[in-house]
């Protein structure tokens, strides 16, 4: 199946909800349970975040989650085990492995891709690997049927946008602003319009991430023209604040349902 699962999801629904979790925060087992609950509550795509010691694209909330996960033994291997546990448990939602290049490089490009495919991952999103880098990783991913999801920002050049189009991914991730995850003042209506224009250029769906933490912000991005949204910091923040495993699932589900309802109104 691999990347075909992503293509099928975007063909089936008008607006897609992507949920990000930092795997291993507070434990791998809880991350798997929360991921399953998110899918049951309406999440269309799971982003399983690989915790990393220097998450330069992420704000303080996800940085803290990464540190907690690493201290608990998290990392690329644990994240792949979580993906495998989800598949073994019957989860059919697409899984995007989200993270930074260093853990993949350390494992070796070919082995990292092979291990991801074996775990049931559909796509890789490598935050700090620009389109002109990572030829071996990209080639191996194509061989194994995994997509590599491009990131496009408001500052991306025409050459970068053309590179994203040439990749022929199932979707493109549009960063709503120049900055890190969790920013409260992201211009989401503007980002939604930019996503719609970008879709016309690259010929595939475009989702908007960074700064979406409420139904109103989800609607703003979707109304502008985005094909979906990504929620990360807001979900991680609820997990961080909740006092028990049960409450963590309850709060995560509440946010997923709130955002899913907002998208369904568009």
Distance CA 176, CA 188 (A): 6
Query: Which pair of tokens denotes residue 18?
Result: 């992507």
User: Residue 90: is it exposed, middle or buried by C-beta count within 10 angstroms (0-12/13-18/19+)?
Assistant: exposed
Mean local confidence (pLDDT), 132-146: 94
φ, ψ at 115 (rounded to 5°): -65, -40
CATH number of the domain within which 44 lies? 3.20.20.70
Which one is catalytic: 30, 47, 115, 213? 47
How many structural domains does the chain have?
A: 1
58-113 pLDDT per residue, tens: 789 999 999 999 999 999 999 999 999 999 999 999 999 999 999 999 999 999 99
Among candidate residues 58, 109, 115, 122, the one labeled active-site is: 58
What does the pLDDT read at residue 21?
98
Q: Kindly report the average pLDDT of the chain as a whole number.
A: 92
Q: Is residue 58 annotated as part of the catalytic site, yes or no?
A: yes
Q: Which residues contact 60 (CB under 8 A, 6 or more apart)?
A: 182
pTM here is: 0.94
Q: Is residue 29 among the annotated active site residues?
A: no
Determine what percent of the chain is predicted with pLDDT higher than 90. Answer: 78
Residues in CB range of 74: below 8 A, 6 or more apart: 22, 23, 24, 25, 28, 51
Which residue segment(s) compose the domain that 199 sits in? 4-264
pLDDT value at residue 178? 60
């Amino acid at each position: 199946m691999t990347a075909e699962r992503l293509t099928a999801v975007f063909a089936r629904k008008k607006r897609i909800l992507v949920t990000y979790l930092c795997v291993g925060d507070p434990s791998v087992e809880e991350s798997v349970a929360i991921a399953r609950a998110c899918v049951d509550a309406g999440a269309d795509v799971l982003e399983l975040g690989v915790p990393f010691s220097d998450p330069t694209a992420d704000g303080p909330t996800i940085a803290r989650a990464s540190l907690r996960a690493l201290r608990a033994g998290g990392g690329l291997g644990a994240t792949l085990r979580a993906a495998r546990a989800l598949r073994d448990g019957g989860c059919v939602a697409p899984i995007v492995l989200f993270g930074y290049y260093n853990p993949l490089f350390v494992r070796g490009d070919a082995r990292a891709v092979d291990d991801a495919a074996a775990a049931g991952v559909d796509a890789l999103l490598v935050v700090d690997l620009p389109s002109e880098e990572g030829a071996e990783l990209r080639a191996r991913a194509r061989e194994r049927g995994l997509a590599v999801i491009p990131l496009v920002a408001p500052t991306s050049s025409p050459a970068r946008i053309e590179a994203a189009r040439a990749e022929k991914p199932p979707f493109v991730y549009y960063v709503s602003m120049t900055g890190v995850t969790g920013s409260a003042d992201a211009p989401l209506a503007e980002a939604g319009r930019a996503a719609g224009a970008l879709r016309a250029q690259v010929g595939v769906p475009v989702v908007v991430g960074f700064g979406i933490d409420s139904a109103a912000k989800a609607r703003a991005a979707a109304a502008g023209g985005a094909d979906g949204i990504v929620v990360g910091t807001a979900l991680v923040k609820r997990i961080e604040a909740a006092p028990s495993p049960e409450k963590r699932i309850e709060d995560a589900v509440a946010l997923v349902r709130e955002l899913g309802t907002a998208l369904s109104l568009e």
